[in-house]
Amino acid sequence: MKNITTLKWLLKREIWENKVLLIWSNLVLAAAILFFTVPGIFWLSESLKKTDGPHDLQINEFATQVSHYFTSGLILFSILLVLTMYSYATAAFIDERKDRSILFWKSLPISDELTVLSKVLVALILFPVMSLVTMTITTLTAMFVLCVAYAMHGISLFSVVFSVDNVWMQIGLTLKSFPVYITWALPAISWMIFVSSLVKSRAGMWAILIPIGLFAITAFINDIVGAAFVKNFAYAVLFRGIVSIVPDSWSYHYYLEEYSQTLSFPEAMQHVALKVDLASWKIFATADLWLGVIAGVAMLLLAVRVRRSRGD
């Protein structure tokens, strides 16, 4: 019970110290999207009012337009999510050593395990949740403004816009794939937190350069010895170690499976797009995911040991 209370306070600390990345960045993006969207909505409503042609065709096109709008918002918020998670994870232990606040936190009866756990929970859960909630509210707000703008001209779009199946389906699929994303992104987040605990500055740079350097050395050895493990090493170190924080990046796992059968990436991509449900939990039955989890947990344990041994 005491550990749970301590963990709650640590989570509050992380939210307070990183509210710019966690909260304000999403709000700024949402405001920017609405700022450029709302004037366009009223302009479109005025143009529709002045059009002499049939309105039914134009109204029916809104279903597709709203779906595309939601997809665009999803992409923008996904890009922001990757950037903010990367910035947070790579600076997880840098800042507290830079401002010497680590001395204060180490003087408290707080274990290093709980400190690392709090940072992992913020990165893997709070950042994606904040991004998803803000994106959904932004989209629904724009949809509501669209309906109000057209209602001012006597055109009702509420039943058309808010019954777009693709929007609610995408929201449902995003929620369904949330556990997959958390598990899949664990090794990348763990690697970044471990590097942050290990180096004194520029953890973001080292988190990328070290895997690239290891890959370059492996590729060089591969050319000399003729070993055939360089592709698997590149996938494990570069892709799973860095790119795994990108939403839906586990689709590449299916691409590799299809490529091994078709030997053609275009065909593999086509097969995955048509056959594979990326929100499906079938990925939990693969060794790829669980090996990443094991590697992620191991790196977090190393981060705990490093932080415990260092007081600088």
Query: Exposure string (b/e) for 46-73, b if CB count within 10 Å is 16 or more?
Result: eebeeeeeeeeeebeebbeebbebbeeb
Is-contact 307 93, C-beta < 8 A?
yes
pLDDT mean over 157-184: 79
- For residue 58, name the pLDDT band (cuts at 50, 70, 90): low
Task: Show Cβ contacts of residue 66 under 8 Å, excluding neighbours closer than 6 positions.
Answer: 143, 146, 161, 164, 167
Model pTM score = 0.83
- Taking 80 as the threshold, does the pLDDT of residue 254 lie above it? no
Which range of 54-58, 100-104, 262-266 scores highest in mean pLDDT? It is 100-104
pLDDT mean over 39-53: 59
Query: Residue 49: what pLDDT?
Result: 53
Cα-based angle 154, 160, 161 (whole degrees, multiple of 5): 100
More confident residue, 260 or 186: 186
Query: Residue 53: what pLDDT?
Result: 45
Average model confidence (pLDDT) across the chain: 78
Burial degree of 112 (CB within 10 A; 0-12, 13-18, 19+): middle
Query: Residue 72: what pLDDT?
Result: 83
- For residue 29, name the pLDDT band (cuts at 50, 70, 90): very high
- For residue 298, name the pLDDT band (cuts at 50, 70, 90): very high
pLDDT mean over 42-55: 54
What is the DSSP annotation of 106-139?
Answer: HHSS--HHHHHHHHHHIIIIIHHHHHHHHHHHHH
Dump pLDDT digits (tens) for 59-112: 556 666 777 777 788 889 999 999 999 999 998 888 777 766 666 666 666 788
Query: Residue 171: what pLDDT?
Result: 80
Name the CA radius of gyration of the chain, rounded.
Answer: 23
3-state secondary structure 250-283: CHHHHHHHHHHHHCCHHHHHHHHHHHCCCCCHHH
What is the DSSP annotation of 177-191?
Answer: THHHHHHHHHHHHHH
- Taking 60 as the threshold, does the pLDDT of residue 36 lie above it? yes
- Taking 60 as the threshold, does the pLDDT of residue 274 lie above it? no
Query: Residue 54: what pLDDT?
Result: 43
| Rounded Cα gap, residues 237 and 233, in angstroms | 6
- For residue 251, name the pLDDT band (cuts at 50, 70, 90): confident
Query: Residue 122: what pLDDT?
Result: 95
Is-contact 176 76, C-beta < 8 A?
no
pLDDT mean over 271-291: 72
Dump pLDDT digits (tens) for 179-237: 999 999 999 999 999 999 888 878 888 888 888 887 777 777 766 655 556 666 677 77
Q: Count each helix (H run) and each strand (E run) in the chain, helices first.
A: 17, 0
Query: Residue 275: what pLDDT?
Result: 55
